[in-house]
Amino acid sequence: MAVQLAVIALSPWELLVRLTLPLTIAGVPIALWPHRRHVGLWVMFVGLVANLAVVLANGGLMPIERSTVASAAGEARAAQYPPGGGWMLGSKDVLTDEASARGMALGDSIVIRVGGGGLVASPGDVVIWAGLAILAVEAGVASVRCARQATNGSPARWKWRGDATTH
């Protein structure tokens, strides 16, 4: 993830961003595969697949419409980009319109208001965040189970496996 953010923020080369974004998205499930017993990870995998699908369909970048940029960053910022669209330097996004984007429904289209501007997210990002929330709940449940087991005088050997067996 740090590699992805660094390349996006610092690279002056569109091709490097177009290669890095899908490779890092695809690498996350591979890195997390040993922990696949957690339900939250499977939810995150669904979000990652949605993001990877739309990124691959748009040549390695996440599509975003000018109206979304205007809503999140203001009309002045949106006007800085040429009408034909293209890669937005310093971001993972490619400026598109309804006609030229593939899978726009999965692209960056959700504006989350923060201060005077906004953050932009995709439906896949929202699903990933839901997976993280589920993981937090899973960790809390496992911690409570472990603490209960320890207070009963038994060794705290609990490890939640995501199924009915927890020993």
**Domain extents for the chain?**
2-151
Indicate the SS3 state at residue 153. coil
Sequence-distant (≥ 6) Cβ neighbours of residue 117 within 8 angstroms: 72, 73, 74
**Per-residue pLDDT, 122:** 96
- Quick one: pLDDT at residue 155? 56
Return the pLDDT at 2. Answer: 84
pLDDT at 18: 94
pLDDT at residue number 157: 56
- Classify the phi-psi angles of 101: left when phi > 0, otherwise alpha if psi is within -120 to 50, otherwise beta: beta
CA distance 70 to 65: 9
Q: Report mean pLDDT in 10-residue bins for the chain, 167 residues.
A: 87 93 94 93 96 95 91 87 82 84 90 87 97 94 81 59 55
Structure tokens at 76: 């002045």
